[in-house]
Amino acid sequence: MSKKEDFVKFDKVDKSYDGKVLVVKDLNLDIKEGEFVTMLGPSGSGKTTCLMMLAGFETPTNGEIYLDNNPISNIPPHKRGIGMVFQNYALFPHMTVFENLAFPLRVRKISKEDIEKKVDKALAMVSLSEFGNRMPGQLSGGQQQRVAVARALVFDPSVVLMDEPLGALDKNLRESMQYEIKHIHESIGVTVVYVTHDQGEALTMSNRIAVFNDGKVQQLSSPDKLYEEPVNSFVAEFIGENNTFAGEISDISNGSCKVKLDKGEIIANPISVKSVGEKTTVSIRPERALIDPKDKMDNNQKGKIEEIIYHGDHTRVRLNLLGNSEFILKVPNSSQNLDIKLGNEIDIGWNSRDARALDPK
């Protein structure tokens, strides 16, 4: 069976709660069948609202949402057949784990034997087979989370929505759960729409990420593209770390441009600038700038070390470079003896294609 291209489709969706402010503006989003799409954004960016509209707990003010080519705005939540994992798990506290998982099957009037089979299978999938008779209150946060995931999947929904499901877990557990959810998704091939504000989570788990800000999707692409090739300065800022220079285009030709800063000039890769005189923000990832580069690089500058922060596997060095005193470098922690001492002047180099000239902030 071939995967459908736009299995879930947001078509020009607007949403306003009070008739004055649009929480979601003209949202267009296509999600493939079997895809793991994350909606990532700061709080208040409209990502949870989008999820709630898809689940059926909110109605779009304008526009339409399609599930498998059927408009679903007028279908109540219980008829949509969409599984959902809630932020606080929302396990039914008066039912055992087994009953929680059996709930969606019982309301669908499935036979007892089938219910038992399906629940056992779902519990085995999240390795909680021994816990069927426990009450949710007797489980740890991670176990409750796994039950919630199993419950959202047990009735074989076509789409599963997850609303910041890992927010309440501690860091280690969160990381292992990320892999677990990713593996479950890979093994059963369900379409997942995942909401988070944690970019690490989004980068680890997703096929594609939709970065939300201000009610709009800023960029929808795969994690590596999002990180390597942000299309605007919000995405560059929001995803990963980022060194920026604000300046003005002084020359543009053959896929590269010169940006005039307050102090000095750098060569950059024009992404969202087209003509001389435009204002721009140049974005460079910290790991793309090297100390004492051996190969020839088209940007070479000198910077003064202002702060050194030890991070175990790497060291972060804050430099004052071209008038920017917040320029961060990541230096891998190797035995290589570099001249990193507070106050030293060092040579820094980067390639112009890694310096992306984006829209001004």
Residues of this chain that interact with other proteins (CB under 8 A) are 55-57, 76-84, 86-88, 90-94, 103-104, 107-108, 151-152, 155, 161
From the CB of 85, what's the least distance to other proteins, in Å?
Answer: 9
- Using alpha carbons, list the distances in angstroms from residue 44 to 41, 87, 122, 214: 8, 16, 34, 7
Nearer to other proteins, 92 or 179 (CB): 92
- Reduce the DSSP state of residue 361 to 3 states and report it: coil
Nearer to other proteins, 128 or 289 (CB): 128
Whose Cβ is closer to other proteins: residue 39's or residue 257's?
Answer: 39
Whichever of 18 and 130 has its CB closer to other proteins, that residue is: 18
DSSP string, 29-97: EEE-TT-EEEEE--TTSSHHHHHHHHHTSS--SEEEEEETTEE-TTS-GGGT-EEEEBTTB---TTS-H
Nearer to other proteins, 79 or 183 (CB): 79
Whether 283 and 353 have beta carbons less than 8 Å apart is answered as: no
Contact 57, 51 (CB under 8 A): no
Q: ∠ at Cα 278 (274, 280), nearest 5°?
A: 95
50 vs 305, beta carbon nearer other proteins: 50
Closest distance of CB 101 from other proteins, Å: 10
- For the chain, the first-to-last Cα distance in angstroms comes to 46
Q: How many CA atoms lie within 13 A of 238 on its CB side?
A: 28
CB of 175 to other proteins, least distance (A): 25
Q: Which is nearer to other proteins, 192 or 328 (CB)?
A: 192
> In the bound complex, what is the minimum distance in angstroms from residue 55's beta carbon to other proteins?
6
C-alpha 124/C-alpha 19 separation (Å) is 47
> Shortest distance, CB of residue 86 to other proteins, whole angstroms?
5
Whichever of 145 and 219 has its CB closer to other proteins, that residue is 145
- Measured between alpha carbons, how far is residue 179 from residues 176, 186, 201, 220, 268 in Å? 5, 10, 10, 22, 37
Q: How far is the CB of 104 from other proteins (least distance, A)?
A: 4
| Six-digit token string for 288 | 């793309």
The CA–CA distances, whole Å, from 346 to 261, 319, 323, 332, 341 equal 20, 9, 15, 16, 10
Query: 309, 277 in Cβ contact below 8 A?
Result: no
Nearest approach, Cβ of residue 251 and other proteins (Å): 56
Spatial distance between the Cα atoms of 187 and 347, rounded to a whole number of angstroms: 48
- Work out how close the CB of 42 gets to other proteins at its nearest, in angstroms, rounded to a whole number: 22
Cβ proximity to other proteins: between 93 and 277 the closer is 93
The answer to whether 9 touches 36, Cβ cutoff 8 Å, is no
- The strand pairing partners of 13, in sequence order, are 27
CB of 351 to other proteins, least distance (A): 48
